[in-house]
Amino acid sequence: MEAIRRNNMEVHQIINSVYQSNTYILFDHDSRHCWLIDCGDSYQVEAWLKENNKTVAGVLLTHTHFDHIYGLNTLKDQYPHIHVFTSENGAVSLYEPKYNFSRYHHTEFIYQSNDVAILKEHDVVELFPNHTLHVMETKGHDWSCLTYQVNQHLFTGDAYIPGLKVVATFPKSNKQEAEKSLTRILHTIQSDTTVCAGHGPIIVPIDDRTNNA
């Protein structure tokens, strides 16, 4: 996938092998480090990092279902300094295969480090100069769901996937919260918003599609 550039920050999309979930790499050419949104196929991330001479500052999780976290341990082995950011509930699920659903896959996933940083509503993370990430709690699809806004980019995880109904039938789902979160996300989206969901293509505003053609 080609990188989508907005206000000097670029976003590279990786389509993972498990359920075609998305991992996003956020980077600025003037910075040595980059940030990940979710972590699936770590080998794809590592190949990109080597090709672009970057290192990872941290991983920001949209939620802690298996298809969005399964690469964390391998990535941590390669980059021991990284921190993982998630919600308070997400920090529980990282260590509980029943909650992150890895129990139902071929290998149970338990995060092998304790360097988890907790994010909550209205928290702000500085990624690069002039690029800050704002946190929205968007529970419903899962109790761990967070949505991130960075300038005109909105990273919604599975709380909003354009064209698809939000799934809220898992043990840690809540249909009413999912509907409230979806309404909030839709109200956040403006004409210049680039939507980067947990699955599917990046949805770029029409003007930017023309400019990047």
Q: pLDDT by residue (tens digit) across 14-28?
A: 999 999 999 999 999
- Residue ranges covered by each domain of the chain: 4-211
* C-beta of residue 39 within 8 angstroms of C-beta of residue 68: yes
pLDDT at 206: 60
Q: Over 60: is that where the pLDDT of 208 sits? A: no
- pLDDT, residue 180, reads 98
Confidence of residue 212 (pLDDT cuts 50, 70, 90): very low
Q: Find how far residue 135's CA is from the centre of its chain.
A: 12
Whether residue 21 contacts residue 13, with contact meaning beta carbons closer than 8 Å, is answered with no
pLDDT band at 8 (very low <50, low <70, confident <90, very high): confident
Give the pLDDT score at 169.
94
Q: What is the DSSP string of the chain?
A: -PPEEETTEEEEEEE-SSTTBEEEEEE-TT-SEEEEES---HHHHHHHHHHHT-EEEEEE-S---GGGTTTHHHHHHH-TT-EEEE-HHHHHHTT-HHHHSGGGSSS--------EEE--TT-EEEEETTEEEEEEE--SSSTT-EEEEETTEEEEETS--TTSPPP--STT--HHHHHHHHHHHHHH--TTPEEEESBS--B--HHHHHHT-
CB 52, CB 25: distance < 8 Å: no
Q: What is the pLDDT of residue 57?
A: 96
Model confidence pLDDT, tens digit, residues 143-177: 999 999 999 999 999 999 999 999 999 999 999 99
**What's the CATH fold of domain 4-211?**
Metallo-beta-lactamase; Chain A (3.60.15)
pLDDT at site 6: 58
What percentage of the chain reaches a pLDDT higher than 70? 93
